Structure 1
Amino acid sequence: MGLDLLVIYGSVRTDRQGIRAARFVASACEGRGHRATLIDPKEVDLPLLDRMYKEYPAGEAPSAMERLAGQIREADAFIIVSGEYNHSIPPALSNLLDHYLEEWLWRPSAIVCYSAGSFGGVRAGVQLRAMLGELGMPSIPSMLPVPRVGEAFEDDGTPRDDAWHARASRFLGELEWYAEALKQRRASGVPY
């Protein structure tokens, strides 16, 4: 039985290249029998953070925020796809993540990081790891860095090098292990 995974992409730039990596990861998840929903902050279009979802009275949050809250609550795990902006994460990603708190709890996350250069966004990935832990969705030990993201995938997410399939398989296998373990524990209750 497959998992319900959210692939959360972090950029809203006009000529963004990382969306290719997000499409690749979502497709790889589906190929493993999971339901993968790509969350694009450009499409969700949340406002700059003024009030968190939990700060709205029940039923009064903006519809886009309410819809995303439901998707987050239903997910078994999260795959965060982040570029590296000035050695950190994109502001659109931080904004999307910060709108929620309790909705993220007790599910693992996995980090796909990318850059136009050779480091593959790992500096952003390291910072993102601390943020995800604070939000209650600790990241798995492995990351999937994508150097030279504009050259790695076609627009639809098809990899230009078949080695990406093996890299993703190992990475997703690790996420599956954590997601299944935590799903089982959540069914027995959570600490608070």
Structure 2
Amino acid sequence: MALVIPVILGSVRQGRSGLRAARYVVAALRSRGHEAPLIDPAGLGLPLLERMYKEYPPGEAPEVLEQLAGLLRRADAFVVVSAEYNHSIPPALSNTLDHFLEEYFWRPSAIVCYSAGRYGGVRAAMQLRAMLAELGTPSIPSLLPIPEVEETLDEEGRPAQPWLDRQAGRFLDELTWYAEALGEKRRAGTPY
């Protein structure tokens, strides 16, 4: 079953390595027949959050928010690609996620984290997991940490390490299972 799974990238830093991880995940999802649009805060130009999408009167939200809201409502699941900044998530990721709420409800998320070092960004993933649950898009139990990202993936997102495809395969199998299960339940009705 083809799913819509946006990949939300979290970094806007110059020379960011997260684009490698995001490109890898987008390609892996597309190879499974899924639609995997990349949501890149560097190209969105979102202002610092002053008011959420839902707080605008109908038809008055900036066009970028209208387009994102439409994409998020079509989604079956989300993959969030996060660096680790000071043992936490990047501010651009928080800002991008916080513009929306109901658009995430009843859909699973999955966390891909990365770092230049050996821990693969897992400390940020723990904080992100709590945030995603609060937004209504709880993360699946597995993570996909990518340590030493610049040695593990080239600039186009092609893996240099054979372990990554094996780990990603299991990770995406799990996300697909949750997306299909929650999709069935959403179609049958939600508590509110």
TM-score tier (shorter): over 0.9
The answer for the alignment partner of 1:14 in structure 2 is 14
1-side partners of 2:162 and 2:59: how far apart?
46
Q: Which runs of 4+ in 1 moved over 6 A?
A: none
1:30-179 correspondence to structure 2 within 5 Å: 30-179=30-179
Q: CA RMSD in A?
A: 0.6
What letter is aligned with 2:104? W
| Residue 43 of structure 1, CA deviation | 1.0
* Mapped partners of 2:97, 2:144: distance in 1: 20
Aligned amino acid, residue 82 of structure 1: S
Deviation at 1:163, TM superposition (A): 2.1
Equivalent residues of 1:11, 1:90 under 8 A apart: yes
Q: Which runs of 5+ in 2 are unaligned?
A: none
Match of 2:190 in 1: 190
Give identity over the alignment, percent: 64
The answer (yes or no) to whether the contact 1:9–1:22 under 8 Å persists in 2 is yes
Q: Is the 8 A contact 1:44 1:64 kept in 2?
A: yes
Structure 2 residue identity aligned to 1:155: E
1:162 to partner: Cα distance: 2.4
Q: What TM-score results when the alignment is normalised by the length of structure 1?
A: 0.99
Structure 2 SS opposite 1:4: coil
Q: For residue 62 of structure 2, what is the amino acid of its counterpart?
A: P
Q: Match of 2:5, SS?
A: strand
Deviations 1:53-87 (A, max 9, x none): 00000010000011001000000000000000000
**Any unmatched runs of 5+ in structure 1?**
none
Q: Which structure: greater strand fraction? A: 1
Secondary structure of 1:141's match?
A: strand
Could you tell me which amino acid in structure 2 is paired with residue 159 of structure 1?
P
Q: Structure 1, residues 11-32: CA drift from partner, whole Å, max 9, x if none? A: 0001101110110011000111
Task: Read off the aligned partner of 1:92 and give its amino acid letter.
Answer: A
CA contact (8 A) 1:18 1:150 kept: no
By how many angstroms is 1:165 displaced?
1.1
- What TM-score do the two structures reach when normalised by structure 2? 0.99
User: Residue 171 of structure 1: CA displacement?
Assistant: 0.1
Measured in 2, the distance between the counterparts of 1:96 and 1:59 equals 20
